[in-house]
Every structure is written in structure tokens, then in C-alpha cells.
Structure 1
């Protein structure tokens, strides 16, 4: 027998006696013999037929709507985060764990300032004197009396006593007219720059305005926070930080957010 015939005979016997091959080909009603298309050279990856040009505008409108919806949801979620932790603050404190104690001291001082200011504003609103001047000229010969919406006089003895106590407490903590001196150091002290940077970062978290000024002799650098921005050019060496987020500003009576030092 010819060698080729013997090989073909052996191959046929193996195919017919192999149970897997028999079950796959002989007993499968959907089995089809290979065609010439099966031997054609084609890529193994999934192919996508080109889109007709007349359908391109519909495709663009669909994906533009999806992109607009996702961007709107992202903006809404960002706006919902009223008090956001500055990324640079989290990054720097991650590599400087010893500065967390300094952050806690400065932040607690600012939180107490916010609470005292809120209590004062609530008291003024309760008496109907929220729109009255913060201070009056007691040395003036012309006496001006302000009366609130509920009939409470601006210069009444009860109100004077309450406001005097509040002014003393605020003066003891270096606070006046809705602003507070938080951090001061010599101008030549380079290490103090980190402390002023912490003040500005904390102020942005609580929605406060923040600025730095140079005063005194020898020159000192002071960092302030406040509910109102300082007038441009009102102080020597005034350097203001970027405007705070108004939606993050705490209103009188609002609960304070979770402290920064407990989150970084």
C-alpha cells in the first residue's frame, strides 16, 4: 500500500474512533462542513463597519447629550460639597504629620471666632437690631437713638451691657468688626510662612475672607480672617487671597462642619 494511502487510512480511523470528534460532528444536526470563507485570511479582532455619513449628525447629537448630562451631574456633585478640603493641604500634611498639631490649634481658634460672631449676630437679629451700626459715637453732643423692629432701643442699658460683654470677649481674642488676627510673626521669619498658609487654607474651608498685612517696627506679618473683605489699599502691605466661596460661608446659627485636623 502506498504510504499516502496508509496515512489517510490511519487518519480516518482515528477521526471515526475519537468520541469527542464523533460527538461534535456526527451527532450534531447543526454541524456544517467548512466553506471557502472559513479559510480566508481575516483579522481576529472585532471589526466595525464604517458609519454612513448621513448618520454622523445623529451620532454626534447622542454623544453630546451624554457628555452634557455627565458634566452637569459632576458640577452638581461638586457644588453639593459645601466645605471641600483643599488638595494641597491634604498633600502637604500627608508628608508633614508634625504640623497637624499646629493646624488643630489655628483651626480651633478660628472655629471659636465663628461661633462668637454667630452668637452676636443672632442676638442682634433677635432684638431687631441687625441693621443698626456696630458702634456709636458716645462723645457726640447729638444723641442718636436707634430703635429696632420690635421696639428695642439701640442705646438701651440692657443692650449696652450685652454688647459691652461681647466686645470685651472679642477684644481679648483680637477680634473686631467681623475680623480676627489669627497669626503674626516677624517678616524675616521664613518658617512662619507655613503658618500663614495654614490660616488661608482653613479660611477657604470655612468660607471666610483672608488676607495678610505688614505692620509695626520691627516689621511684623499678620494673617487675618474675616466675614467681609478688607477695602483695597486700606492697609500697608495688604495681600489678599483668592475670593472665598460664598456658598461655603457659615451663616449665624449654622452648625460648624467637621474640623479639618480630624480629616487629613
Structure 2
């Protein structure tokens, strides 16, 4: 089972130059992603007074997040693997492709990147609110958890198929594009119900800056369960013990 491959790593791993560079890459990639994604929603709201709650706003949010994630994954791929998502890092941890110590570094960097991006947005827009993720009317917390599980499952399954699988071959070259596409598609599917986060860091930054924590746990529990399920299923069925190998940083 993939979960048996979880490696803790050594404490001094956190001070190794390669690990610190990888964490910095995750910080920068997350900053790029959240600034563009959250910023597009703020800009659309300013121009239309409707924001992402309108059909056109939902399409704009899907496109901006898809484009921004494609770039964010691409620029970090050769350094950190381009996770740009604590749930993706958790999925890689469950499959034994990253140690817990390095994963913690990634999580800290990803959360900080999101917070800094939202602070920069608030300052540069003259104090406009960076709205926290919220549930739509009629959507319960457990409805939203299921949404986040399914959407993040699709995201992390795509990551495994296009970037982690050692048999991927030339398919790895389109991994950032495929990852961006699935996030954009999921926003179109779930954005009107719970905002379609799929990424605890993307939810964390706006929550910190706006200091709004209502139902925030949904955007951690759902993505982490979905990521773990995708990692276990893909790694067990399609990679397996015989073909499993440690994921090189330069690969993804």
C-alpha cells in the first residue's frame, strides 16, 4: 500500500540548501497563482459589481485560475516539483514521493505565499477585500466537503497520471497544462456551490487577510481526503510496488 511508503525524513533536511530552494520556489509559485487568481476575481467584481457570483464571473475565475496554475506549476517544476497546493503535497507524501519533513517545509511556504499574495492585493487595490471562500445558499458543509473531495481527487489523480507515474513518458511535458485544465474545469463545476478551492492554501490566504473563518475547515478536510484517495488508488493500481520509484525533483 502507498501509505506504507510514507517517509518521515531527517530533521536536518529542513536546513539543506536544496530543500530551502524548493520551499522558496513553492512560495513564489503560490504567490504568482493566488495573486493572479484572487486578483482576477477582485478586478472582475470592481468592473461589474457582480464578481464571481455571476455566470461570466465564474468563467473568468475558471480561466484565470487555469492560466495562472499552468504558469505556477511550470516555473516551479524543475525546482520543487511545482506542487503549488498543500493537498498535492499531501498526495505525494501518501505515495512516498516526498518526505514529511520536506512536505512541512512546502506547506509553510505555500501558506505564506498565499497570505503575502492577498496582502499585496489588498494594498495595491487600495484596500479592496480579499473575500474568503464561502458556501452558497442551500449548500451544507458536508455537501461542500464531498465537492472538495471529488474535485481534489480529480486534480491529484491528474498530477499522478501526468507527472508522478514513472511510465508517463512524453506525457510529462503537458502535466502543467493538464493540471491547469482540470482546476479550471472543476471551478466551472463547483465554483457556484462552494467556490471550488481544491487547495487549502488558496483558501487560507483570503481567510487570514479578511479574518473570516466560517466553514474554513471544509477547505482542508475535503482536499486532503480527495488527495489521499487519489494517491492510494493511482499508486496501488497503476504504479504498484514493482514500478515504484522515488520522484526526482527535476521530473516534476
TM-score for the superposition, normalised by structure 1: 0.32
Larger radius of gyration: 1
Structure with the larger helix share: 2
TM-score for the superposition, normalised by structure 2: 0.33
Structure with the larger strand share: 1
